[in-house]
Structure 1
Amino acid sequence: MSASATLYYIYDPMCSWCWGFRPVWSQVKAALKDKVDVVYVAGGLAPDSDEPMEPEVCDYLQKTWRRISEQCGVEFNFEFWTQNTPVRSTWPSCRATLVAREYGREVALYERIQRFYYQEAGNPSDYASLYDLGEELGIPRETFIERIHSEDIERQLQEEMALAESLGVRGYPSVVLKIGDQIHFIRHSYTDVDANLQQIEALLAA
């Protein structure tokens, strides 16, 4: 095993496939905690927008949710589509997790946003909701508001997206193992923990 091995998990809080992968990823991460450094990267799926989603986009995403639920065994709260005005904008939630990173709460907020969106039918495209979630996790509200709209966090988001691109990421979630200068894209299974671990451990042992 190389001491310089880093396992990158490239995510977006509002990526439905990330929600589908979450049960398996949690087990993979736990199994590798003493073998590799795990680094989360906010990929930035959809840029800022105030425009409501077109009906055909809403229909497509609801079909995707159903497919993920059947394939991965996770549940979605479809009341989201009737209780909110859906907007295709995920950068606000990515900025939120970057603020939380400064408090050691990135993963906690990422997972909280997922539950808020997929289980509680909340809307993470709405900044006010993100303020509430940050405060819920102990981040001072006024500081959170100031940081999430800061030029510094915007720069960090752009750097995160550039890192994802440099790792060859084209979709979310993605798992990439870097050993020294070598980059290995893990063709992750959404349902088989061992299949993921076998790929990664074989590379670590090479």
Structure 2
Amino acid sequence: MDITLYYIHDPMCSWCWGYSPTWHMLKEKLPSKITVEYVAGGLAPDSDEPMPIAQQQAIEGYWRTIETKLGTQFNYDFWRKNIPRRSTYNACRAVIAANKQGAQQEMIDAIQQGYYLDALNPSDVDMLIGVAQRLTVQTSAKFNTAQFIQDLSAKETEVELQRQLNLARSLTQQGFPSLVLEVNGRYHQISIDYLNYKTSLAEILTKLVP
């Protein structure tokens, strides 16, 4: 039986940040026969244009909603320390580049922590390189920053990003994060409970029953 759980996300998606603790718990509880595949949905394409003030205020409002509903921590200094851009593809590329070294989840976690807790801007390549350098230190040089920098702008990374963007659109229209379970070629949208991994797990297990 071929079983894949697709996690459709964006490293700069604030709801993905809110869901992160529950997602980690769900992954730990999944049956070993399920393969997890991350799919970068890409919230916003490359742009050098500053984000309009109204959009900044709207997104900051989303943060406060998530903070209230889920207890997620945010550092609102981000909006005062940076020139925000509606641009998440660089962060998605960083995750793909890190995956070539087996550090996909570590990169996602580091980007989210840098963005939401340290008020850094993942739209900037320099920030992503800084994250990679910290990963290199944390992994005792098992993660290679020079290789990451090369992969970040590689043609193969862009090709993979476009593949994931197209796959995300074909799998779901429900935004990020989303879970889609493929069982022998059949696709099932899995409900997300932001505060309890057991909801999604129970639904997944029912789909595995012949």
Confirm or deny a common fold (TM above 0.5): yes
Distance across 1 between alignment mates of 2:173 and 2:25: 22
Amino acid at match of 1:19: W
Report the RMSD for the aligned CA atoms in angstroms: 1.2
1:33 Cα deviation after fit? 4.7
Aligned to 1:189: 193
- Within a 5 Å distance, the mapping from 1:15-164 to structure 2 comes to 15-138=13-136, 139-164=143-168
Amino acid at match of 2:24: S
Distance across 1 between alignment mates of 2:162 and 2:173: 14
The TM-score with structure 1 as length reference comes to 0.95
- More displaced, 59-68 or 137-146? 137-146
Amino acid at match of 1:101: N
Distance across 1 between alignment mates of 2:204 and 2:33: 10
- C-alpha distance after superposition, 1:52-90 (max 9, x if no partner): 110100110011001111111211010101111111100
1:35 Cα deviation after fit? 4.1
Q: What secondary structure does 2:208 align onto?
A: helix
**Runs of 4 or more consecutive aligned structure 1 residues displaced over 4 Å after TM superposition:** none
Amino acid at match of 1:172: F
Distance across 2 between alignment mates of 1:35 and 1:23: 22
5+ residue gaps, structure 1, are: none
Distance across 1 between alignment mates of 2:167 and 2:90: 18
Amino acid at match of 1:146: Q
1:187 Cα deviation after fit? 1.8
Amino acid at match of 1:34: S
1:136 Cα deviation after fit? 2.0
Distance across 2 between alignment mates of 1:169 and 1:150: 29
Q: What secondary structure does 1:100 align onto?
A: helix
1:13 aligns with 2:11: yes
Q: Measured at CA, do residues 143 and 187 of structure 1 come closer, stay the same or move farther in structure 2, by a change above 3 Å?
A: same
5+ residue gaps, structure 2, are: 137-142
Among 177, 180, 190, the residue aligned to 1:176: 180
Contact 2:180 2:190 in 1 (8 A): yes
The TM-score with structure 2 as length reference comes to 0.93
1:180 Cα deviation after fit? 0.8
Aligned to 2:140: none
Q: Aligned residue pairs: how many?
A: 204
1:168 Cα deviation after fit? 2.3
